[in-house]
Chain A
Amino acid sequence: MNSQEGAGVVIHGTAPSIFLRNISKAFGETIALSDVSLDLRVGEVHALLGENGAGKTTLMKILYGLTQPDTGLIEAGGVALTINSPRDARAAGIGMVTQHFSLVKNMTVVENIALASANTFSLDLASVRKEINAASAKFGLEVSPDAVISSLPVALQQRVEILKALMSGCRYLILDEPTAVLGPQDIDSLLEVIKKLRSESGIGIVLISHKMAEIEQVADRVSVLRRGKVVSNSKVSGMSSQELIGLMMGNDEVAVAQRRPTQQLFGDPILALKGISVTTESGELNEVSFDVRSGEIVGVAGVSGNGQAELVRVLSGTLALDKGSVVIEGNTLGQTTPQSLMRAGVGMLGEDRHASAVHALQVMENLVLDCIDNFATKFQLKQKEILEHCESAITQFEIKTTPKQPLGTLSGGNMQKVLLARLFSRKPKVAIISQPTRGLDVMATRYVRSLIMQASTEGTAVLLVSEDLDEVLELADRVAVMYRGAIIGIVDGSTATRETLGQLMAGIKQ
């Protein structure tokens, strides 16, 4: 493990150090990248912006050796680099934290980091532990070396990934949508780490993000990808977020976000929670009671880890209740199961889209997975109807895919749209929606939010769990704030502000 020599030396905006030249890449019919050139410099945060499916991840996977380009080359200091694997990339000083972490879940932090560096036959965990502690202190990335990965929250797992990359001695660090999986507090501390890595250790960082505010906060330069081409590359200081969005979308019309008028006449309560209590190792719910009426959007806000995840698990039927009951349209469900909820008309969009997607199945198969029987006769699937259903969903939800593509090959945003299409095409009575716009581009975010509004206008009772306060404020008719596993307050969406919600989230009752 190399130590990071020259730490503290600020090399701000020196000559370009890594060149990606004329990179093209196609997957069958799909052209993911065409003739893309990019330069990365040490000591600079380079933001990569673009719609879902624009090719950001593909480009970075090429740089990190996870995919090979069809044409084009990578150069450092005038010499062509051969990057055929992540190992080559690390040897060239390039590290990457992918959207999907590559940690061994039931091993400890030390073991994971030792794995990444172990090339010898001897394994000296004690010295690795020492190096981890040193690196943690130096980069401001605290972790406890002996924690088992699966016991760590996402933010800390990410920290381990970053540490792993840094300890392999990288000068360039690629972060693919690192903030998409984090709550607001964790985002702030990650951005601090990024700034520190740049200015104190002179590391060049590629930051992929869909959030303009983050880019303005930490990035020095920004490149915009649109449909596999670089359409802009400039200093961040000279660009407004409106300009950037315009570049990303090209001629596509950008819908303007606006709060929907609160509907005055809600129907009857469709979903009612009555005194729900559960205890798990990760958190608890304490006498949670509230209801959601037909046509209403109830937002659930709170600092992450205050029971939101448990609430969603109860409503998806994967967590057994200790006490209380779930009532749907007046019918009390005992212990909930995914099937009983689905039969009662509850639809669900989980926060981890990969957990809900069968990657190896085609898009069209995934789209009908929760209602296969409606698309089959006794003896045979109605392939033609499935295909038509999929084609209309692709048009209606503007999904960039073909029906027969395996779902796993879609970009994150498009995968999310597939799952949303599946949810809403069943016309559920109740929709439980968790972090719906994580990792979605600006356009898709607005589109998804408008879909949620539309479903509620059509009478669906929506429970929206989101860590994005703006999202909650934009959509919710009422906001329930969770604190330590209980609902600490429910406020009216039209009068709620960041401040009132913030106080409740901190556990302060008015």
Chain B
Amino acid sequence: MKPRFALRSSMPWWRGPALIAAAAFVSFLLSAIVVRWAGGAPISAFHYMFISPLQTRFGITESILSATPLIFTGAAVAIAFRAGYWNIGAEGQLLAGTIGATWVGIHAEPLPSIVGVPLILLAGMLFGALWALVPALLRTRLGIDEVVTTLLLNPVALLIISGLLNGPWRNSETGFPDSDVIAKSTQLPIIWPGTRVHLGLALGVIIIVLCWWYVGKMAGGLKLRAVGMAPGAARIAGLPVERTLLVAALVSGGIAGLGGSSEVAGVAHQLTTGISSGFGYTGVIVATLAALSFIGSLCVALLFGLITVGSFSASRALEIPSTIGEFVQSVLLLTVIAALVIQKYRVVWTRGKK
């Protein structure tokens, strides 16, 4: 008897969720090996990572805070991917957004909050969209693959930030390469008193709901899905394929850029080169794990926020590297994708030879 894989034609409803759960379990086992290797006790590491943050208010709100940028980048990636536009540049677009936000923030001293806050958000969105514009035009006008161009623009955005911070935007008080603190009137209000959870979270959730509604329920969303699934057929049906791709790319960039504003105006209140710890790239993982669903992206982003905070406390308590969090996220991605593929097959046992 030998096992082989055969395509499965149909399956009971519970198999999908069950497989995902199994994948999560496998990823814990794999992570446990690495935790052990780093000298920690796996069970308590996972306790610190997933349970203890949820036991304090501080842990919960910090997790939400870490999740906030991922909500934006997850939504940005999901909407582009749904249109069949493979935007790997959410990182660069988010960084461009932080530039726009900082530019408004450090020049907006005299404005009242009611103007300053919308302005800084708008600036981030605009810069993010602008950063997405060039690859989008190259793709829709000349057919140049957007995966490469959006990806390659990410480090460029970071270099520009570094140039600004070492030049015109160098901190006027300390002389360090980070910007001045942005005007009070452009800082996002705290929406959960006594914590650091700010307006960005609410915006992120609103963006998620808007995307979900647009893609699932509106005419434009149906066009976007059709273009994403079969551009040729969409063109024959008279849908403006190029325009749809362009709009999806710009909206995606705008959402990522808004995430940049949210980080600058909501948390850091200044620009630093470390403003993003790969939020754009993690956004790709978030959207993929969520199978490009928006509500799913929100959930995965929150989970990842929890893992980020939890891995810090695990690392502090057990003296293991905090990169363990990223490791867990990556392994989770691999096992879940494997589960999604395996779900299409079943194992059959063949008798005899071969």
Show the binding face of A for B, using Cβ within 8 Å: 27-28, 65-68, 82, 84-85, 88, 91, 316, 318, 338-339, 341-342, 348, 350, 355-361, 365, 369-370, 372-373, 375-376, 379-381, 422
Contacts and interface: CB of A to CB of B under 8 A. Distances in A.
Contact of B10 (A27, A66, A316, A355): A27
Given A355-B233, A380-B217, A369 B226 contact: yes
Contacts of B9: 67-68
Contact of B230 (A339, A360, A379): A360
Interface in B314-354: 348, 350-351, 354
Closest 6 CB pairs of A and B: A376-B219, A84-B6, A342-B238, A369-B237, A370-B237, A358-B230
Nearest to B8: A68
Contacts of B106: none
A168 B226 CA distance: 38
Given A84-B4, A85-B6, A379-B218, A338 B238 contact: yes
B219 A358 contact: no
Contact of B226 (A318, A361, A375): A361
6 contacts: A28-B10, A350-B236, A361-B229, A370-B239, A381-B219, A422-B237
Contacts of A338: 235-238
B219 to A, nearest CB: 4
Contacts, number: 80
B220 to A, nearest CB: 8
Interface range for B = 20 to 34
B225 interface: yes
Contact of A355 (B4, B225, B232, B348): B232
A22 B222 CA distance: 42
A365 to B, nearest CB: 6
Contacts of A365: 222, 226
Nearest to B216: A381
B7 A358 contact: no
A360 B231 CA distance: 12
A344 to B, nearest CB: 11
A372 B219 contact: yes
Nearest to A374: B219
A28 B12 CA distance: 11
Contact of B218 (A65, A318, A360, A376): A376
Given A316-B236, A341-B238, 7 more contacts: A68-B9, A356-B233, A356-B237, A358-B234, A361-B225, A369-B239, A376-B218
Contacts of B235: 318, 338
A326 to B, nearest CB: 16
Given A82-B350, A85-B7, A361-B226, A355 B218 contact: no
B219 A66 contact: no
Contacts of B240: 339
Interface in B209-254: 217-219, 222-223, 225-226, 229-230, 232-240
Contacts of B239: 369-370
A28 B11 CA distance: 10
A102 to B, nearest CB: 14
Nearest to A88: B350
A67 B10 CA distance: 10
A355 B222 CA distance: 18
Interface in B1-58: 4, 6-10
A373 B226 CA distance: 14
